Amino acid sequence: MVADCDNDNGVSSPNSIVSSISGGVAKALSSQGSDDEDGGEAARKKLRLTKEQAKVLEETFKEHNTLNMKRKQALAEELNLRPRQVEVWFQNRRARTKLKQTEVDCESLKRCCENLSEENKRLQKEVQELRALKLSPHLFMHMNPPTTLTMCPSCELVAVSSTSSSSTTLHVAASNRDPLDLSLRQPVPAVKPRPFEGSIFRP
């Protein structure tokens, strides 16, 4: 964690490590992939950013999560880092943001799935009960109508079937149907898939 890396141990000093291993990391940073000149002993050392550096980077990131040349240069100078380090920090920060958002989305989808499963169970149970009642007409005559909410699939109006005389707001077309004949019902329009744009829950 960045927050944990204090500069007390001196490890995070922006130039201490990098300058001491200038033949290794610094070279790799300035010219990627050309580490064949250092004899291969260039152990990659990690520079931990100080709290202050991380704070400034974080604030800048909040303003704008990408960098242009000018901003990168300015930040690098301000924080006593190399522009490449600022660039890498922003890349990793964007990756972390995306990962976090993906986790949030995943949790939301999980909850949504659970809710739908519950609803499905409930509806299946209701169908079973209605089927049973239909098979016993003498019971059917004395039953109270279901008190559950019913939604018209075509217009999504919700009716509360609270009285035995009428199912108040249900449409005639719907009421003439066998309520158990699911084949007559309009299919729920499929949700059109769209390209992933970071978060599907984002406004």
Q: Is 25 in the site for DNA (CB under 7 A)?
A: yes
SS (H, E, C) the chain: CCCCCCCCCCCCCCCHHHHHCHHHHHHHHHCCCCCCCCCCCCCCCCCCCCHHHHHHHHHHHHHCCCCCHHHHHHHHHHHCCCHHHHHHHHHHHHHHHHHHHHHHHHHHHHHHHHHHHHHHHHHHHHHHHHHHHHHCHHHHHHCCCCCCEEECCCCCCEEECCCCCCCCCCCHHHHCCCCCCHHHCCCCCCCCCCCCCCCCCCC
Q: Is 56 in the site for DNA (CB under 7 A)?
A: no
Q: Is 105 in the site for DNA (CB under 7 A)?
A: no
CA gap 5, 17 in Å, rounded = 15
Q: Is 195 in the site for DNA (CB under 7 A)?
A: no
Q: Is 109 in the site for DNA (CB under 7 A)?
A: no
Stretch that binds DNA, among 26-34, 116-124, 137-145, 152-160 (CB under 7 A): 26-34
Q: Is 1 in the site for DNA (CB under 7 A)?
A: yes
Judged by CB under 7 A, the residue of 19, 52, 78, 95 near DNA is 95
Q: Could you count the other beta carbons within 10 Å of the beta carbon of residue 31?
A: 10
Least separation in angstroms between CB 200 and DNA? 14
- Total residues interacting with DNA, rule: CB under 7 A: 41
The residue (of 89 and 167) whose beta carbon lies closer to DNA is 89
Stretch that binds DNA, among 47-55, 106-114, 145-153, 166-174 (CB under 7 A): 47-55
CA gap 63, 142 in Å, rounded = 67
Q: Is 32 in the site for DNA (CB under 7 A)?
A: yes
Least separation in angstroms between CB 201 and DNA? 17
Least separation in angstroms between CB 90 and DNA? 7
Binding site for DNA (CB under 7 A): 1-5, 9, 11-12, 18, 25, 28-29, 32-33, 35, 43-49, 54, 66-69, 72, 84-85, 87-96, 98
